[in-house]
A = this chain, B = another copy of it.
Amino acid sequence: MKNLICLGVLTLGLCISCQPKKQDVSVAQPHKKVMLDGLNHPWSIAFLSADEALISEKDGHLLKVNLKTKEKQILKGFPEDLTDSIRVVNLGDNSGIFEILIDPDFGTVPWVYFSYTAKKPGYGTTTKVVRAKLQNDSLYGHQTLLEAEPYTQEYFHYGGGMVFGPDGKLYVTIGERLFWERDEPELPIAQDLTDKRGKIYRINQDGSIPEDNPNLGPDAIPGIYALGIRAAQGITVQPESDKIWFSEHGTIQGDEINILRAGANYGWPNVTSGKLRSTDYTPPEIEGATFTPPIWFWHHTVAPTGLTFYTGDEFPQWKNNLIVPGLSRGSLWRFQLENETIKSAEELFIDDRVRIRKARQSPDGKLYILTDEDDGKLIQITPLNSKLKL
């Protein structure tokens, strides 16, 4: 149309404004650059430096990798109660190794923190958080920080997301572990403060309970920081505000982005942005409960997971944006924020969809993603400059 309007306007003698000014501008477009492949469903990455990192493989091992030499070392000394991976297609999260973090003071005390599915023969499995010291390619001096009993036969929604807060405390997501809501007890698991599942925890680095945790009553399990969680995995700190943001897997259209607040109840299964899976289930009324709404939810299934804030320099337009990988749609979401409001959402890599488990930034400000595949990849998102004539 512009050309045609221009033609009309030309005849009116006003066409100067239609003439394109000749000016080349370089615009950076995001591009995927595979840095490592052959990973077995990688779940998380913790950078030791710009070129060296630890990677957890959900269906494999804890690895130490070098991005320059492409070398991979399997870390020795992973706890022996790790569950053999069980793959249940399209029925939620599976067991395996989840988050890997290094100690905020790693140079002094070489602790690494990891979450995984632990098994107890005859009972089942649950999520466990352990820290151990790293020396070369070995783990030693293990300490169990959190064990989300009960061990059950349900293989779903372990949670396992972890982050160190700006306060140095360890925040851990533990999933509700149920697939069907009709299997809920009278007081739903995630609403029950005497049940470890379906909660977010705040603990000290040695697993002890911080004295300034919210008071959730005498019967509440120590360490609980928030409740009403279904299957949160992604959890990250917003550098600008020191707030903690986390993702939540919904059932049907209930995928959410939330901000973590002390003592907050995120509502599962009583309120959800989506629909319950069991059409014959009605949650009971929870007396006195106040539910905290999400910051954002999608109108379709995205399966958002290991999110991060972008603070790098390569994509100036993305500065301080929230980056959210998706499993179901396999794309990378970029959210522009103003305080706690999402102003715009960009879905990237629509033409190259692949299950993305984690987005993380390296110490030198590069953005990386991990793909949840048999031949999983560590991919760097790099700017590919293209010239535009303005």
Contacts and interface: CB of A to CB of B under 8 A. Distances in A.
Interface of A: 1-15, 17-18, 21, 25, 27, 29-30, 46-50, 101-108, 163-164, 166, 236-237, 239, 299-300, 308-309, 311, 313, 316-317, 319, 334, 336, 338, 341-351, 360-361, 363-365, 388, 390
A50 B346 contact: no
B308 A1 contact: yes
Question: Do most interface residues of chain A lie in helix, strand or loop, or is the interface mixed?
Answer: mixed
A95 B315 CA distance: 46
Contact of A107 (B11, B18, B360): B11
B5 A47 contact: yes
A2 B361 contact: yes
Given A4-B104, A10-B107, A344-B348, 20 more contacts: A1-B101, A3-B166, A3-B237, A4-B237, A5-B46, A5-B363, A7-B104, A8-B48, A8-B102, A8-B105, A11-B105, A11-B107, A13-B107, A17-B364, A25-B316, A299-B299, A338-B351, A341-B351, A342-B351, A344-B347
A76 B83 CA distance: 79
B364 A316 contact: no
A291 B101 CA distance: 51
A133 to B, nearest CB: 14
A236 to B, nearest CB: 6
A342 B352 CA distance: 10
A334 B346 CA distance: 8
Contacts of A360: 1
Contacts of A104: 4, 7-8
